[in-house]
Amino acid sequence: MMAVLEVPINVFGQRNNFSFSSSRRPPNYACGIRKARSFVLVSATSQSPVQSVEENTSIVSQKFAFPIMVNSCTGKMGKSVIEAAMNAGLDPLPVSFSCEEDSGKIIEVGGKDFELYGPKEREDALAKVFNENPGLIVVDYTVPMAVNDNADLYCKLGVPFVMGTTGGDRERLYKTVKDSNNYAVISPQMGKQVVAFLAAMEYMATQFPGAFSGYSMQVLESHQASKLDISGTAKAVISCFQKLGVSFDLDQVQQIRDPDQQIELVGVPEEYLSGHAFHMYHLTSPDETVSFEFQHNVCGRSIYAEGSIDAAFFLAKKVRSRAEKRLYNMIDVLQEGNMR
């Protein structure tokens, strides 16, 4: 992940001709850092070293094991979460929610077979799993249209859950959890370093409201073609800039889903077209003499999967301690130092 703050050194008398819609290809910060010229570059990189069996055992002994169920294991994120859980020393339960067409099928993930349950069977299946596995934590990476129905079910049965799926009616989602007094971690972003960046943005918005009043903004976000909605991370960052005084509507976000444009315009490495998250925010002063650029790029899904498992460990601890607070986000996880 990389955050970029771009400030022209000689801002007076210069006109900014930056445009996301132009044919100019933005620098690929994921692959390297361009030479300093007229900007200040602040970067943060996250790498996940391969962990040995001994290290995995240590993680579980330090944070305790617990039963975990991942919905949906047929999706790329679900598969990544299962693999991250195994790498952390956990043993995911061999069941998972899926679409009606796949109900009853058995699929293999990480060398383990998982039985799939469609919408009609999911309540009975989850109730049985929860009854047989006290302390169960569910991690949800399904689809936006299933967010609220799944959350309703988790709360109805009292199953603690980590909601990694974006979209759905978020107000209804939070209300469902609060009304049921169920334990949950809900966040539009599970990547640890990205969450830290969002926290910094929120702090700036709270402490310096209106600091960017009058500035115009362009936002470009690029994700794999299968992602249908606007990035939840982009929405969160935009919300911060709105608090800072920038007038911007979500329908102004440039969503890039075409692979050719992602390679040529955005600079996404070809091997990550099926799994990436590139975000660029460019702000310009009213007289166009000052510009700021923020950029954070993620290739692959490991950063989200690992963050989701951190959240699951965190939530399991809260459930076992019978914490008074029930609804959490990834900032809570970060602040408690539960990051591996």
Angle CA 106–111–113, to nearest 5: 20
Q: What is the DSSP letter of 53?
A: H
Ramachandran category for residue 309: left, alpha or beta (phi over 0 → left; psi -120 to 50 → alpha)? alpha
Let me know if 279 is a catalytic residue. Answer: no
Q: Which of 63, 192, 223, 279 is catalytic?
A: 223
Q: Give 270's DSSP letter.
A: G
Listing DSSP states for 236-254 in one string gives HHHHHHHHTT----GGG-E
Distance of CA 197 to the CA centre of its chain: 12
Q: 267, 218 in Cβ contact below 8 A?
A: no
Q: Could you say which of 227, 243, 276, 296 is catalytic?
A: 227
Instruction: State the DSSP code for 271.
Output: G
Nearest to 309 by CA among 338, 273, 329: 338
Secondary structure (3-state) at 114? strand
The residues assigned a catalytic role are: 223, 227
